Amino acid sequence: MHDRYNMGFVSSRFAGTDGVTLESAKWSEVLRDFGHKSFWFAGKLDKDPHRSMLVPEAFFDHPDNVWINERIWKHLTRSREVTSKIHEVAETIKSGLYRFTNKYKINFLIIQNAVTIPMHVPLGVAITEFLAETGMPAISHNHDFYWERSRFLVNAVQDLLDMAFPPSLPNLQHVTINSAARDELAWRKGITSILIPNVLDFENPARYPTADPADVRKHLGFKPDDILILQPTRVVPRKGIEHAITIVSKLKDPRCKLVVSHESGDEGHGYMESLKEHAADMGVDLRFIHTKLGETSVEGNSNGDEDTPYSLWDVYPCCDLVTYTSLYEGFGNALLETVLFRKPLVINRYSIWIEDIEPKGFQAIAMDGYVTGSLVDEVKRVLSNERVRRRMTSTNYDLAVRYYSYSVLLRSLRTLITNITGLERL
């Protein structure tokens, strides 16, 4: 039997249902099935306290890091005081990493986006220095690079970004989630990476339980004959929700309800208000249901209370169509969820869909940035024809098993670990 690793997952936060936390849980699950143990290091945690270490300074909302961020973004120079504070916080976090790896006898690290997007510069510096000092084998799972976000482009820490976001080290293997990110990383940093897309356990769909659709519809305030068109995204401008409103308006069916699952988040509420006005002008029944839903766990269950007993994943079986009208996505978890629940999809052909997903044969009602009469006609045809829906969704599901299942993740992790250690340990 091959030796097994104590895997140390490291990030700013492992708590709640953000994409990094959920993808990390999937990786941990696949590794666990092959005998590896997972341990967790972060500044905010909801993991087993017997297998985790909380270092508050590692959280991106820690007061020290908030103070630093106020002085390094939208500025071109930083004071000596800021530099000292960055290194002071980094040293505190690095000491925590040494305690963490010693306490749990960690012999392999999996860095989750912490040396990718610089929401916490001292954390990235600490991880980079720790890996350089120890030579511990590690994987960096890179979700969002700083050059993909305009708010990080004007800064006073380019020297540290060059060093640590991400670092180039012989003991560190990199993972990207789409082809564009892989190519940009190679071009900008000279760093090669393995592409591992987001995944779901398509081979074992029964593990994702959902509630009775009739009960969920009643809880959300819908009638049995309402046609639910789900927009399963946050309410931010890049999600292009105005296109979904236009589509529903052109269907000219009062039974059609546009259901938006998430709230505005940290980008303000102006866009949500504009959507409400646009829907009213277009005569569209627009419903924001985030206050009636609990957070979705990696198993698909609700983490809510008696007022929010259902999760987004309970809503998918209730809906008749999913609109995914984003202008840009790093990959698209909601896309995989739509396929998992075998729902027809309207897609705005964002770049990653065009480059990575569409060529595999996935089927959707596709638009190219604007709503046409032929697009609306196709939506009507799919909604009215069960045979067409079944053919479309079955094709997508079969392709997802092949390209986005846990077995795909397993093969990739085996390659990564073998690349670093020279030993096959999965």
Closest CA to 292 of 334, 261, 256, 338: 261
Domain, as residue range, for 315: 205-403
213 lies in some domain = yes
**Using an 8 Å Cβ cutoff, are 349 and 362 in contact?**
no
Closest CA to 397 of 356, 316, 338: 338
Asked whether residue 228 falls in the same domain as residue 243, the answer is yes
60 lies in some domain = yes
How far is it between the farthest Cα atoms of the chain? 67
1 lies in some domain = no
pLDDT at 328: 83
Residue showing tokens 């989750």: 112
Our measurement of the distance from residue 309's CA atom to the centroid of its chain's CA atoms, rounded to an integer in Å, reads 23
Q: How many helices (DSSP H) and strands (DSSP E) are in the chain? A: 15, 15
pLDDT in tens, 213-267: 999 999 999 999 999 999 998 898 889 999 999 999 999 999 999 999 988 765 6
Rounded CA separation 172/261 (Å): 37
Asked whether residue 51 falls in the same domain as residue 39, the answer is yes
For residue 268, CA distances in Å to 71, 265, 303, 405 come to 22, 7, 25, 35
426 lies in some domain = no
Is the whole-model pTM more than 0.75?
yes
* Identity at 338, one-letter amino acid code: T
φ and ψ at residue 195, rounded to 5 degrees: -85, 120
Asked whether residue 380 falls in the same domain as residue 410, the answer is no
pLDDT in tens, the chain (426 residues): 346 899 999 999 998 777 788 899 999 999 998 889 999 999 999 999 999 999 999 999 999 999 999 999 999 999 999 999 999 999 999 999 999 999 999 999 999 999 999 999 999 999 999 999 999 999 999 998 999 988 899 999 999 999 999 999 999 999 999 999 999 999 999 999 999 999 999 999 888 888 899 999 999 999 999 999 999 988 988 899 999 999 999 999 999 999 999 887 656 688 999 999 999 999 999 999 988 888 766 555 555 567 788 888 999 999 999 999 998 887 878 899 999 999 999 999 999 999 999 999 999 999 999 999 999 999 999 999 999 999 999 999 999 999 999 999 999 998 888 888 776 655
Output b/e per residue, 256-278; b: 16+ Cβ within 10 A.
bbbbbbbebeeeeeebbeebeeb
Asked whether residue 388 falls in the same domain as residue 416, the answer is no
Tokens found for residue 59: 């959280």
341 lies in some domain = yes
Asked whether residue 80 falls in the same domain as residue 100, the answer is yes
Asked whether residue 109 falls in the same domain as residue 192, the answer is yes
Asked whether residue 168 falls in the same domain as residue 44, the answer is yes
* Identity at 404, one-letter amino acid code: Y
Asked whether residue 106 falls in the same domain as residue 177, the answer is yes
Strands of 154-281, DSSP E: 172-176, 194-195, 227-231, 256-260
249 lies in some domain = yes
**Using an 8 Å Cβ cutoff, are 114 and 89 in contact?**
no
Asked whether residue 56 falls in the same domain as residue 175, the answer is yes
**Using an 8 Å Cβ cutoff, are 142 and 113 in contact?**
yes
Q: Is 168 helix (H, G, I), strand (E, B) or coil?
A: coil
- For residue 151, the domain's CATH number is 3.40.50.2000
pLDDT at 1: 33
Asked whether residue 194 falls in the same domain as residue 241, the answer is no
H-run or E-run covering 44: strand 44-45
Asked whether residue 90 falls in the same domain as residue 186, the answer is yes
Number of structural domains found in the chain: 2
DSSP codes of every residue in 70-121: HHHBT-S---HHHHHHHHHHHHHHHHHHHHHHHHTT--EEEEESTTTS-SSH
Asked whether residue 176 falls in the same domain as residue 321, the answer is no
Tokens found for residue 78: 């930083």
pLDDT in tens, 290-318: 888 887 665 555 555 677 888 889 999 99
**Using an 8 Å Cβ cutoff, are 321 and 346 in contact?**
yes
Residue showing tokens 């840009």: 328
